[in-house]
Structure 1
Amino acid sequence: MDEAARREFLNMVKAHQDRGDPSGWCDQVYRDVGGDFTAVFWADLVPNPYLISWLEDHPITGSRLRAITIGCGVGDDAEALSAHGYQVTAFDISPAAIDLCRQRYPDSRVEYVVADLFDHPRDWTHGFDLVFECNTIQVLPGAYRVRALNAIAAMVAPGGVALVSCRSRNTGEKEDAFPLPLDRSEIDGFVHAGLQEEGFVAYDDDQDPPVPHFFAWYSRPMG
């Protein structure tokens, strides 16, 4: 994305945020690619490598488990979860994103659905053995970030886990950035939401220049 396109994109995001519609701009991005999932500028088109590593280290045993991906984009992470044996629901607020997933994976076992994180089906609460969040919170402004984090945490069933991948920053840095990376105190909100931290990795990705990230996983105690 060149500088002019980025300015136009950021102006669109701000216009939606200013009218209290923090994620309404997402569908425009997916519609603008005209059905070409490879043209979604933020899509890596491969599963998150830390998700894959975690899945390989924690293979499913016994009965098939339910998983959900938050803001599934064009479906790479959802398909990876399915390939590792999970019964997967993948949702996005953008109808165009869900259309791209269904076109890209016409024979998929994943249930791709349009849904709003802030108004999701009631049976999703404590409904999943694995919840995967990647880069959703960081594109939201202000109080919507806490609401999103709490909504994500609430989907984790007793004994289940939340896996969280995001850009990271030191507290006080990049306050005006978009997306706004999470600092350590913000991602610790998953603990305040009733989950227990089980693992935490801080790393730099392979972009030039490298971008710092967090990958963390949390469990909900049984009972």
Structure 2
Amino acid sequence: MKEFDPVAYKKMVREYQENDDPTGWFDSIYQDAQGDYKAVFWADLEPSPYLVDWLEKNPNKKTDKKAIVIGCGVGDDAEALSTFGYEVTAFDISQTAINLCENRYPNSKVNYLVADLFDYPKKWSENFDLVYECNTIQVLPGKYRVQARKSISNLLCKNAFVLVSCRSRKQNEKENEIPLPLNKEEIDKFITEDKLKECSFLAYDDNQTPSVPHFFAIYQKI
């Protein structure tokens, strides 16, 4: 198993970004795990507690409710959504990540598949009651962050919700970081540009040492 080297990781990501290939490096992270989902360095190995809390407090009584998970990683959040009765599509651009999910959850009801956020099937547009986005936008550069946000918003059917979890930063800070956290102005573009309604917004620091600031926001398409 290859040991995670944060310096080499950031150098690799920057090289791909400079070559206008912003997602070409993703699969290597999962390949480095060599078939062990526990070895994926960014995997929490449990669903987001903020996602679970929202699902518990906002039950959806539709019998055919659909959810989609952006960049599903090793599957924890997708499985949580399935437990709450959603028909779940969970995709990642990495085939290796999808293999890890299928091996980890051989009897899952989740539809795990390889797909590209920038070129997903047309039938997905305006087709989901809940969209979960965790940490995808922040690993993208420049114009791809805008495209990603718009692609995410376009997945929402009427009255649907998108839950956005990400690292955060103050305006004009950490501008060269990898990943690049979202500031308030950027995440607010779900409202100002995509015309979604903000239902709740939480800014918090996690339990790491040192702590890392985050946003957890819920928007609705009206």
Is the TM value for this pair above 0.5?
Answer: yes
Distance change (3 Å), C-alpha of 1:118 and 1:4: closer
Q: 1:54-105 CA deviation, whole Å, 9 max, x = no partner?
A: 0000012132300000000000000000001100000000000000000000
Matches of residues 57-76 of structure 1 in structure 2 within 5 Å?
Answer: 57-76=57-76
Distance change (3 Å), C-alpha of 1:115 and 1:4: closer
SS at match of 1:117: coil
- List runs of 5+ in structure 2 lacking aligned partners: none
Q: 1:131-159 CA deviation, whole Å, 9 max, x = no partner?
A: 00000000001111011001001101101
SS at match of 2:177: coil
Aligned residue number for residue 168 of structure 1? 168
RMSD: 1.2
For the 8 Å contact 2:131–2:161, the answer to whether it is kept is yes
* Counterpart residue identity of residue 148, structure 1: A
Aligned residue number for residue 217 of structure 1? 218
* Counterpart residue identity of residue 30, structure 1: Y
| Deviation, structure 1 residue 9 | 1.2
Q: Normalising by structure 2, what TM-score?
A: 0.96
Aligned residue number for residue 204 of structure 1? 205
Q: Normalising by structure 1, what TM-score?
A: 0.96
SS at match of 2:118: helix
Aligned residue number for residue 11 of structure 2? 11
* Counterpart residue identity of residue 137, structure 1: I
Q: How many residues align?
A: 219
Aligned residue number for residue 77 of structure 1? 77
Counterpart-to-counterpart distance in 2, 1:63 and 1:189: 32
